[in-house]
Amino acid sequence: MLHVVGSFGEHLPASCQATCQEVWPVFDAFLAKHGSDYDSAEHVTRVLRHALNLFGEAVLSIAADVLERMSTSFASSGLSCYLWIAGKVHSRFGNEEDPVLRDAVKNVYERSTQKVLVMLQEKSAAMLPDGEHLPLLFAVFRADW
């Protein structure tokens, strides 16, 4: 449904302003419990990707929390979908002056770099799931860093 709606345009209706803050704890708790399951992670991050478009600037209030969950989830699972969402959040809000958000971006970059290094010690890049996309994911962070 989020994909069909797309966005509300320039302004989110007043009745929807708090939806991100209200719904995020549900997704956060679900990912904390089931985030290592590939299918669950893919489904939730797909919803989050569409929610970024739908809620627009309203996501800014939870962006640091989303980045933190994406970072910890990638560090524990190695699933690239978490880096994709972190990259989308960073692309959307990376120029904000919020120091908490900037720290969250820095943490994602540092944690994900450490995780990828560990993964590369275990397997070659070609053998990693989505291995061919890893350099692109890091380029998203470096471009605005």
Tell me the average pLDDT across 10-18: 73
Is 101 buried (19+), middle (13-18) or exposed (0-12) by CB count in 10 A?
buried
| pLDDT above 90 for 114 | no
Tally of structural domains, the chain: 1
Domain around 38? 2-144
| pLDDT above 80 for 90 | yes
Mean pLDDT of the chain: 83
What is residue 145's predicted lDDT score, i.e. its pLDDT? 45
Contact 1, 47 (CB under 8 A): no
